[in-house]
Chain A
Amino acid sequence: MDSIKMNRRKLLKLLGAGGALAAAGPLASPAFAARTAGRVVGVGGGFGGATAAKYLKRLQPGLDVTLVEPAREFYTCPFSNLYLGGMRQMEQIVHGYDTLKNRYGIKVVHQYAEDVDGEAHTVRLANGETLPYDKLVLSPGIDIDFEGLEGYDEAAAEKLPHAWKAGDQTRLLRSQLEAMDDGGTFILSAPDNPFRCPPGPYERVSQIAHYFSQHKPRSKILLLDAKDAFSKQGLFMDGWREVYGDMIEWVGLSDDGRVVRVDADSRELESEFGEIHRGDVVNVVPPQKAGAIAHRAGVTNGSGWVPVKPHTFESQQVDDIYVVGDATIAAPMPKSGFCANAQARVTAAAIVAELNGQDPLDPVWTNTCYSVIAPEYGISVAGVYRVIDGEIREVEGSGGVSPRDADAAFRRREAEYAVQWYNAIVQDTWETRGLQKTLT
């Protein structure tokens, strides 16, 4: 008995270590399969939710795991910028749930979860059905905060897309870029922290610059920012200059970059100090908050995000509800797909440990965010995180960004690593494939 326990502890620890993205093996040994019949419901079939469901089943095949996700196919935000740049097709960033259903025995219910009753331990679906749970995992990602920016409501988003959830919004933005005349101006408005994918807006303008340089070389890009500093700033700015000359202009907070009002019909953005910018195509990356179901479940606080217990990502406010991914307050971990995946593995391990009457393990999470500036130009930032003095901290000296003075071969390799990273993470999350090996 003891040795099994030891082994499992080691196993959980390994999984908790997160970064490995190791290929799946037959991890469930019959010795501890099917011992506890617990019911776990997961809401959200994105990076966090799909990973949590899969690892729960891997650790304890006897668990009854239901995954609630309205969409039959999930479009990843990672690499959706590459679709905008013309380096990927939409068909290459879409993933289904067949393997999770068939190989892992996860019940996938294609419904929207409308409400959670934390007392009764139930989830109510849009079709009226009620799912009981012992443990609930929420990974609903973000919702756009349509109250957070004057003039930007759902109707405005049909004219000035955010494309911050991949799918139709991403296609809309691409079609606007295609319809734009050469010599036009593209404007992206970037929000203040915290928001999904800190390097995302900067990778996006890089990709759009790639598209322009090939098809509309006289066009300009204006990036209006509500921040004075951003992720991988030096590397991005070097890359922009090197690859795209002066096509991209960045205006930070202190230079009046913060947009306070938008007019969707005239495609105008008004800055804090009253300047009006008119674009031919305008991409508003608006302020964000945790997905609606987190608010319904009562796990969010005044910030609009979810405070969690650092070791397990159980809600600080409601017992037996675990929240992972973008919806959480996990800073300094960024809101990335990689982090959502790493958090979900730790949470799956913590839930299994608790159902078996064991203590959670000391977690370690890793993150790497690649950004692709051009087909042969990649950059990255990495970090390792642990619980130190009761809060999540970045392990000192653990991470860092790509060197400023790297040569072309290094940048090319990082673009290749980005593809490998994508293929590995979608394999780990949905057990699907990301197709092509390289970007060109």
Chain B
Amino acid sequence: MSRTRSLVTTSWSRRDFLRISGAGAVTLGMMMVSPSLLARSRPWARHDAIMELLDGAEPDTSGVTLELPSVSEDGSNISLTVRVDSAQENGEYVKSIHLFAPDNPNPEIAVFHLTPLSGQAQIATRIRLNESQRVFAVAKLSDGSFRIGSQDARVTVSGCLTDDATYDSSGLMQARVRTPRSLRPGEVGEVLTIINHPMETGFREDADGNTIPRRIIHSFVAELDGETVLRADFHPSLAANPYLRFHVKPNGSGGTLALEWTDDEGETTREEAELSVS
């Protein structure tokens, strides 16, 4: 399918958005879409954030793939992979990927800012879903155009799961990282990270009924010898212990990959790893 690159002058309406995003979901996830979910999808649910991002532009409904389990038995931790078809090279690349869960109290999940150093426009992470809904991914390309994809996700709270969220604060802000041992020139490597953090939404109450204040990791930066590989903004709909799987394509002979997380209290964690290319 060809990409429609239209400088739409007539403002793009919410209706158009629902029409195309609906169509997108059907082609992307034919096997997964349950008719009941489609019927229940609330037409005027909270799509404002997506509309704002698009700002009247008409997104292409192809080229973005979202993978989520069709049924999840634990809404607090759902793995998600988003992939945008793109060479991710200097000429044309994906600048950012925005994830939304419109029926969550806070619809924004995360924003990932990519560069040609990212090598591949593909991110895996773990998210929270309050209820069954359609999850959206919007990609903004270097030429200013947008693409959108969506996937229905059903959440059931399994009777066999208790809700004792066991969070251990002892290792707060402790990170684990896995990087490629060595890369060949031009090869895209995979980086895996996780960091201990409750990602308190600010919507929870403690045993005495007091609101537990919001405290999340709000930003993550990955740099290779000072140049941005990936920058991410996290929101409360990202699951506790933020998990990221992204890519890096070093120029020349590699360098030092530095990763830094910052939370609402200003605490930071920094990890470094050598990437060798040979």
Contact = CB atoms under 8 A, between A and B. Distances in A.
A209 B70 CA distance: 36
A234 B163 CA distance: 9
A227 B71 CA distance: 15
A401 B157 CA distance: 14
Given A301-B31, A329-B71, A389-B40, A256 B176 contact: yes
B61 interface: no
B178 interface: yes
Interface string A304-337: 0001000000000000000000000101111010
A70 to B, nearest CB: 29
A233 interface: yes
A336 B160 CA distance: 10
Interface string A212-237: 00000000000000011111111100
Interface string B68-105: 01111110110000000000000000000000000000
Contact of A273 (B70, B154, B156, B177): B177
A369 interface: yes
B157 A332 contact: yes
Contacts of A232: 160, 162
A303 interface: yes
A399 B178 contact: no
A30 interface: no
Interface string A33-44: 000000000000
Interface string B236-275: 0000110100000000000000000000000000000000
A392 B34 CA distance: 13
B71 A231 contact: no
A229 B194 CA distance: 17
A184 B241 CA distance: 32
B72 A193 contact: yes
Given A198-B161, A302-B32, A303-B69, A229 B76 contact: yes
Contacts of A48: none
A301 B32 contact: yes
A392 to B, nearest CB: 8
A229 B162 contact: yes
Interface size class of B (residues with CB under 8 A): 35 or more
B256 to A, nearest CB: 19
Contacts, number: 108
B166 A383 contact: no
A381 interface: yes
Contacts of A189: none
Contact of B164 (A199, A233, A303, A390): A233
Contacts of B240: 228, 254
A272 interface: yes
B162 A332 contact: no
A367 interface: yes
A194 B161 contact: no
Nearest to A333: B159
A307 B32 CA distance: 9
A199 B160 contact: yes
A216 B269 CA distance: 43
Interface residues of A, number: 43
A381 B243 CA distance: 31
A110 interface: no
Contact of B159 (A228, A254, A329, A394): A394
Interface in A182-200: 193-194, 198-199
A302 B34 CA distance: 13
A273 B194 contact: yes
Nearest to B194: A254
A389 B69 contact: no
A354 interface: no
B194 to A, nearest CB: 6
A146 to B, nearest CB: 20
Given A231-B162, A272-B192, A390 B157 contact: no
Given A254-B241, A273-B177, A331-B73, A230 B161 contact: yes
Given A254-B241, A389-B40, A332 B69 contact: no
A195 to B, nearest CB: 10
B11 interface: no
A198 B158 CA distance: 9
Contact of B194 (A256, A367, A401): A256
A382 B159 contact: yes
A329 B31 CA distance: 13
Contacts of A359: none
Nearest to B132: A391
Nearest to B181: A274
Contacts of A392: 156
A158 B154 CA distance: 36
A125 interface: no
Contacts of A180: none
Nearest to A300: B31
Contacts of A331: 71, 73, 156, 158
Contacts of A199: 160
A273 B175 CA distance: 11
Contacts of A14: none
B75 to A, nearest CB: 11
Nearest to B67: A302
Contacts of A227: 74, 77
B71 A229 contact: no
13 contacts: A193-B74, A199-B160, A227-B77, A231-B160, A232-B160, A234-B162, A254-B240, A254-B243, A272-B192, A331-B73, A331-B158, A334-B158, A390-B36
Given A228-B240, A234-B162, A273-B192, 4 more contacts: A229-B77, A229-B164, A231-B161, A394-B156
Interface of A: 193-194, 198-199, 227-235, 253-254, 256, 272-274, 301-303, 307, 329, 331-334, 336, 367, 369, 381-383, 385, 389-394, 399, 401
10 cross-chain pairs, A with B, having the tightest CB-CB distances, nearest first: A383-B159, A332-B156, A231-B160, A254-B241, A198-B160, A390-B36, A302-B31, A234-B164, A334-B160, A331-B156
Interface of B: 31-32, 34, 36, 39-40, 69-74, 76-77, 154, 156-166, 176-178, 192, 194, 196, 240-241, 243
